[in-house]
Amino acid sequence: MTDSSIPTFGSSQHLDDEWVYGQLCRQFTLSGEGSPHRFLKRYFGECSSSLEAQMRVVIESECFGSRKMVAETATFQSYFQHFVHEEGVRWRTATPDLYTVGRCYNEKGTVARGRPAVDGLRDCAECTKEQFTTQGIITWTRAHNLPGVRACWRHATKLRARFDFDQLPLPDPTSTQTSEAATEIELWFANVSRETLHDDSGSRRYARVLRRSVESYRWTAQLIAKGIVASYPPAILFPMDLTPRSLTAGYRSMLSKNRSIGDTRLLILLGHCEDRTSQLINGERFSEASWGAWRKAALAEGATPPRLDAWVEADRLEPFQPSLT
């Protein structure tokens, strides 16, 4: 802080899985300052509207604890460490900004456009209500704000998003709207992302997948598309225009729409589908048991759930049941 005589408001109290940005927002609320700009200027000597710059100053001020402690417990460092530090990867070297804001870089190593990680500030309405009821404090949690995560891993509902990050808002605990159920793939992805965040085993399995896959995602897409086509008789696929060409195009489209999250999303996905990928590469047909994972993969590739459901019905397969553990 710029003025050592400024007392703590008490917001340095660390909450479970709280993002450092959440701590900043709570601090702002307790300060009573009407303007985030004035608040940042006054307490941190920083008036930049860039979230990265703000976070940098806040962490360097050590008002929420030592830099190391904050980086480990209140940023996305432990998540990204699974993907970086590997030579030969065409990702930019990890930076504090990457850790604190959760913004990803695309495969070309350039920073993605958009504000913080194009998905905005995300919270689960149910979690927020729960926080309010049990603790009286609401904040932003890391698990909800990981790149590409759009579902709550606990409540299996879609996350809410807002983009006014420069206003240092806190989630709204009063919403009476019923939360929409998340899709299986969203839920699965949220779970895997959270596990990755809390996985401090030092595993590099995501990094291995990264090295192999980022370079060749288009090739992988083609393989996936070919695999799907090979698994289903033309009578089902062709009326829906599901050809290797159209599937690959859809895959690319998905990546270009989510440039900031595409890589990470894909990497985790592929990390879990590693076996399936090798099956594809070997030109194996899908077994019934591998259907669930493939369904997720296909959904992630842009195939719509109704289409997949139609396939499930046609083949009398059991719908995929995601595991919350």
Residue 34 contacts another protein per CB under 8 A: yes
DSSP label at residue 233: -
Q: Which stretch binds another protein (CB under 8 A): 4-12, 51-59, 178-186, 300-308?
A: 4-12
Cβ at position 130, least distance to another protein in Å: 10
Rounded Cα–Cα distance for residues 63 and 305 (Å)? 46
Which of 97, 172, 195, 274 touches another protein by CB under 8 A? 172
Shortest CB 3 distance to another protein, Å = 4
What is residue 145's DSSP assignment?
G
Residue 174 binding another protein, by CB under 8 A: yes
The binder of another protein chosen from 24, 31, 108, 314 (CB under 8 A): 31
Inter-helix orientation angle 217-231/244-257, to 10°:
140
Least separation in angstroms between CB 209 and another protein: 39
Q: Is 240 exposed, middle or buried (0-12, 13-18, 19+ CB in 10 A)?
A: middle
> Minimum Å distance from CB 194 to another protein?
24
Asked if 177 interacts with another protein (CB under 8 A), we say no
Choose which of 138, 151, 156, 247 interacts with another protein (CB under 8 A).
Answer: 138
- Identify which of 167, 116, 135, 172 has the alpha carbon closest to the alpha carbon of residue 11: 135
Which residue type is seen at 223? L
Cβ distance 104 to 258 under 8 Å?
A: no
For another protein, how many residues bind (rule: CB under 8 A)? 33
Among 170, 223, 266, 293, binds another protein (CB under 8 A): 170
Applying CB under 8 A, does 7 fall inside the site for another protein?
yes
Position 160 contacts another protein (CB under 8 A):
no
Please select the residue that binds another protein; options are 87, 88, 113, 133, rule is CB under 8 A: 133
d(C-alpha 301, C-alpha 304), whole Å:
9
Cα of 232 vs its chain's centroid, Å: 32
| Residue 253 interacts with another protein (CB under 8 A): yes or no | no
**Rounded CA separation 72/76 (Å):** 8
Query: Is the CA virtual torsion 171, 80, 321, 120 positive or negative?
Result: positive
Q: Which residue from 21, 22, 24, 43 is in contact with another protein, where contact means CB under 8 A?
A: 43
The three-state secondary structure class of 313 is helix
Q: Does 33 contact another protein by CB under 8 A?
A: yes
Q: Applying CB under 8 A, which of residues 37, 42, 154, 205 lies at the interface with another protein?
A: 42
Question: Which token pair is 31?
Answer: 């300060």
Q: Which residues bind another protein (CB under 8 A)?
A: 2-14, 26, 29-34, 42-43, 132-138, 170, 172-174
